[in-house]
Amino acid sequence: MTVITRFAPSPTGRLHVGNIRTALHNWMFARANGGKFVLRIDDTDPERSEERFVDAIRADLDWLGMTPDAEERQSARFALYEARFATLVASGHVYPAYETTQELDLKRKIQAGRGLPPIYDRAALALDDDARAKLEADGVKPHWRFKLDHDAPIAWIDLIRGPQAFEPRTMSDPVVRRADGSWLYMLPSAIDDIDMAITHVVRGEDHVSNTALQLQMFAAMNATAPQFAHEALLTGAEGKLSKRLGSLGVDHFRKVGIEPQAVRALLARIGTSDPVEPIADAAPLIAGFDFARFGRAPARFDEVELAALNARILHALPFEAVAERLPEGMDLAAWEAVRPNLVTLADAADWWGVIEGPVAVEGDIDGEYLDQAFAAAGEIDWSGDPWHALTARLKAETGRKGKALFLPLRLALTGRDHGPDMAALLPLIGHERALERLAVR
């Protein structure tokens, strides 16, 4: 069996961090098993679906290194849905219902007043042909419901949650098609999973009850259902479900300087028993992917943790991985010098400015000491290790050591009291610029 997973976003907005995590886990599972990862654009709602969001979804997946093996669009598959729908109507698995929204609301209020669950009472099944004909003659268009088999308990082994069981008598027959002919999510999704030979569906635990309903749809279509893995939902750093998570996406991550490898490394592991580590290469993440390591507790997403992880990943990235995004002229030596001090890649431009100059020094520095440093810098050998040559000479001449020796030099040469190792930085600043900076009062 070839493993085939799918990620099925609706193009009604940008992907947020929860969507990205779902896509990532589907992609990782497919790659871990030598399978295929399919992007399915669920664009059955023409009023809300926008092509710009389709383009954005593709771009976001590409940025994260998760380019799909295939792409499908539900809007191109209506003929298939119609054919399956007609077969289900003919077999009695789908039936028309004529209640208005107001009538259904009233039924639910009455049930609530009696302490009963708000389950559809199947009144539409009691209508005979004459009653249905009269309603349609009066201009009442039906919506369509899938008829659950009350005598077939629903059970499956979830790859994350373990054994799951639902009693269909406690569930309403789901509406699968609106009165205007448009489709709701569940039936087209099940039809596509069959037609695309989807073997595994990874999605959020908020879909567990949908899975219970869809399992009977697969059975009604004489199809083998995929295996399902329902993962815990993300929570914010405050420990509660956060609306902010719905606004965090690739645009946000790029704006604040987060690397795709950091997003991938964090979302691959949070909610599992594996430690979150600064792993830039997707291969080891994929190799260790296992649903048995996923927990049931909500997965905590913390932007502070992501930022720290991003810095650690940057500190290990080779020059080739970032060269195209570095300031013009910044070479391997400069990258290796400033890399340990970066929080985001944008910081590299700041340190390149320190190297290239000019720099501004705030506060007073001992002028006599800078005169001595200027003289020493003009006489030392710059072809080897100028920083240690300079500090060794100044230590011998002035008796200074530690902070008193190093800090005034760093301030004068870089304009900052912290930063990359000066042994790596000073050769990049160079002889002439160093003399110019040491001469400035």
Residues 248-305 have pLDDT tens digits of: 999 999 999 999 999 999 999 999 999 999 999 999 999 999 999 999 998 899 999 9
Residue ranges, comma separated, of all CATH 1.10.10.350 domains in the chain are: 329-441
The predicted pLDDT at position 144 comes to 98
Phi, psi torsion values for 186, nearest 5 degrees: -70, -45
The predicted pLDDT at position 240 comes to 64
pTM greater than 0.85 (yes/no): yes
Parallel, antiparallel or unpaired: strands 227-231 and 162-166:
unpaired
The CATH classification of domain 329-441, taken from the options 1.10.10.350, 3.30.300.30, 1.10.150.20, 3.40.50.620: 1.10.10.350
Topology of the domain comprising 4-72+184-235: Rossmann fold (3.40.50)
Q: What is the CA radius of gyration of the chain?
A: 31
Parallel, antiparallel or unpaired: strands 143-146 and 175-177:
antiparallel
Can you list the residues of the chain whose pLDDT is less than 70?
A: 239-243, 441
The predicted pLDDT at position 239 comes to 66
> Which residues fall within 8 angstroms of residue 124, CB to CB, at 6 or more apart?
95, 96, 97, 98, 99, 142, 145
Residue ranges, comma separated, of all CATH 1.10.1160.10 domains in the chain are: 243-314
Residue ranges, comma separated, of all CATH 3.90.800.10 domains in the chain are: 80-154+163-177
Cα separations in angstroms, 291 against 245, 294, 388: 23, 5, 53
CATH code for the part of the protein at 243-314: 1.10.1160.10
Does the domain at 80-154+163-177 match CATH 3.90.800.10? Answer given as yes
Are the CB atoms for 39 and 7 separated by under 8 Å? yes
